[in-house]
A and B are shown apart, each in its own frame.
Chain A
Amino acid sequence: MKTLRWLASQHQSHNRWLVLMTLLFGVLFDSISWSSSWGIAFPDLTPLILLYWVMALANSNFLLTAFFFGILHDVLYHTGLGTYALIYCLLVYPMLHVRLQLRNKTLLQISLFIGVWMLAHQLLVWLITPANHLAGQNIAFWLAALVSALLWPLIFMILRTLRRNAHIR
């Protein structure tokens, strides 16, 4: 019985790599250069993927993951070290409080909720990173929140399929 339990835990920790891989994919996708300034209307995938895992895996708090991927984002985007780490932590922490209630909502309601959450993300980015004060004058920068809400069902479906196939709980 003990061996079985140990094997189960190994299997689970092995599957946690998938969580990190999806987040790494998000960082990779975010670092792709967009040729048009309308490209900034496409939201960062990393916070969206992070929010999905926070909601889906209610047994972890993901604060360290948020911090680590924030630092990675800072190096990639030449923002001050710790800036995005702070933004991601500020984004994840309130989500930890509401994630259990969110499970009873419909996908459409969660999408709207994600839109509001990503608006807060854009607001934090605009307030904390001086270089983005200029980006804030562009409507496309704020549209990213709306696009996040529209994209959420797709992201949700893909990640849920991955999670179910990998038996991540």
Chain B
Amino acid sequence: MPSPQARSLTSYDHWQFVAACALSLILMVIDEQTQLMMQSRMVLSTLIQPLEWLARLPENWIGQSNQALTDRATLTAEADKLRLQVLLLSQQLQASEQINQENDRLRMLLGVASRVNQSKLMVGLIVDHSPDPFRQIVRINKGTKDNIRNGMPVMDAHGLMGQVLSVNFNESDVLLVSDIAMKIPVRVVRTGARGIVQGDGNTELNLKFLPTTSNIREGDVLETSGLDGRYPSGIPVAEVVNVKSQAGSVFWQVSAQPVAKIGSSREVLLLMGKPLAVESVTP
């Protein structure tokens, strides 16, 4: 490796190293402790969007060529299956419309406003997932141009999926409930006992701080308690799959499975309520 101007290190190099490290540390602390870097992150994220689009190309090409190779029989079978699904779904839709009307009448009687106003919902589409296999982050096709803001709760047809982590002009990143950084205050639907659900970084959730004096069992459904003011209460979050007690511990060790199909859902619902803070969500 020839280089005619090879030189040894000078004090300028040392100072540059110290300055770069100091600046990195300052940025890390500001980003971790405050919301000041959110705007810069949004701008940088928008700037590198073409780069990410380029990175997605090989994956998209492979997907498209796979699709092109799908044979006719498979397509016919799929079409038949979809026709059947349309019939079933339209029947279910009619039933759910009746239930909605009944619900609205009951709510009016009780004088309680709808918890999730239909006019404040937006449908987004999952377009990508995080390149890091140990983070549970997906990207959706809605950004600041659609009035998406950090901290907005995201649901699928089954339950809570996560929360908007960062937004750029066209797209947003959603931190899923199963991410290790995600903590959601919940209550057990059957008993009303409160706890905090935390992702395990894979596909499951752990229910924390539920005292062993509380009544909980497999199959119990956990829903948002609404105590943090971030999520409306009553959104299903997870279903308990395993309850263990640990010797010496005053809390149950509870594993739960998210009710949202976080691995397979493509369409998501964004709850467009008032601006929400995201202090507890750190990448």
User: What is the interface of chain A, defined by CB distance below 8 A to chain B?
Assistant: 24, 27-34, 36-37, 39-40, 55-59, 61, 63-64, 66-67, 70-72, 75-83, 85-86, 89-90, 93, 96-97, 100, 103, 130-132, 134-135, 160, 169
* A residues near B13, Cβ cutoff 8 Å: 61, 63, 96
Knowing that A58-B1, A86-B24, A131-B132 touch, tell me 13 more A-B residue pairs with CB under 8 angstroms. A59-B3, A59-B5, A71-B27, A71-B44, A75-B45, A77-B132, A82-B26, A83-B24, A85-B27, A131-B135, A131-B181, A134-B180, A135-B134
Chain B, 16-28, contact with A by CB distance < 8 Å: what is the 0/1 string?
A: 1100110111111
Which residues of B from 1 to 39 have beta carbons under 8 Å from A?
1-9, 13, 16-17, 20-21, 23-28, 30-32, 37
Bound: A108/B13 CA distance, A: 29
* Nearest A residue to B30, CB-CB: A81
Closest 6 CB pairs of A and B: A82-B27, A86-B24, A58-B6, A59-B5, A82-B24, A82-B28
User: What is the interface of chain B, defined by CB distance below 8 A to chain A?
Assistant: 1-9, 13, 16-17, 20-21, 23-28, 30-32, 37, 40-41, 44-45, 48, 51-52, 54-55, 58-59, 128-135, 137, 165-166, 173, 180-181, 201, 282-283
Q: Give, as a whole number of angstroms, the nearest-CB distance from B52 to chain A.
A: 6
B48 touches A76 (CB 8 A): yes
Q: Give, as a whole number of angstroms, the nearest-CB distance from B216 to chain A.
A: 26
Q: Give, as a whole number of angstroms, the nearest-CB distance from A51 to chain B.
A: 12
Q: Give, as a whole number of angstroms, the nearest-CB distance from B30 to chain A.
A: 8
* A residues near B31, Cβ cutoff 8 Å: 80-82
Q: Is the interface of A mostly helix, strand, loop or mixed?
A: helix
Given A83-B28, A90-B21, answer yes or no on A57-B131 (Cβ-Cβ < 8 Å). no
Q: Give, as a whole number of angstroms, the nearest-CB distance from A37 to chain B.
A: 5
B24, B133, B137, B282: which contacts A37 (Cβ < 8 A)? B133
A81 touches B5 (CB 8 A): no
* B residues near A130, Cβ cutoff 8 Å: 180-181
B20 touches A79 (CB 8 A): no
Given A81-B37, A86-B21, answer yes or no on A33-B6 (Cβ-Cβ < 8 Å). no
18 contacts between A and B (CB under 8 A): A28-B51, A31-B52, A31-B131, A33-B131, A63-B13, A63-B17, A72-B48, A75-B44, A76-B52, A77-B130, A78-B132, A79-B283, A81-B28, A85-B27, A100-B6, A131-B132, A131-B181, A135-B133
B20 touches A67 (CB 8 A): yes
Q: Give, as a whole number of angstroms, the nearest-CB distance from B251 to chain A.
A: 22
* A residues near B40, Cβ cutoff 8 Å: 81
* A residues near B180, Cβ cutoff 8 Å: 130-131, 134
Bound: A56/B3 CA distance, A: 7
A131 touches B283 (CB 8 A): yes
B166 touches A78 (CB 8 A): yes
Given A34-B131, A39-B133, A82-B31, answer yes or no on A64-B201 (Cβ-Cβ < 8 Å). no
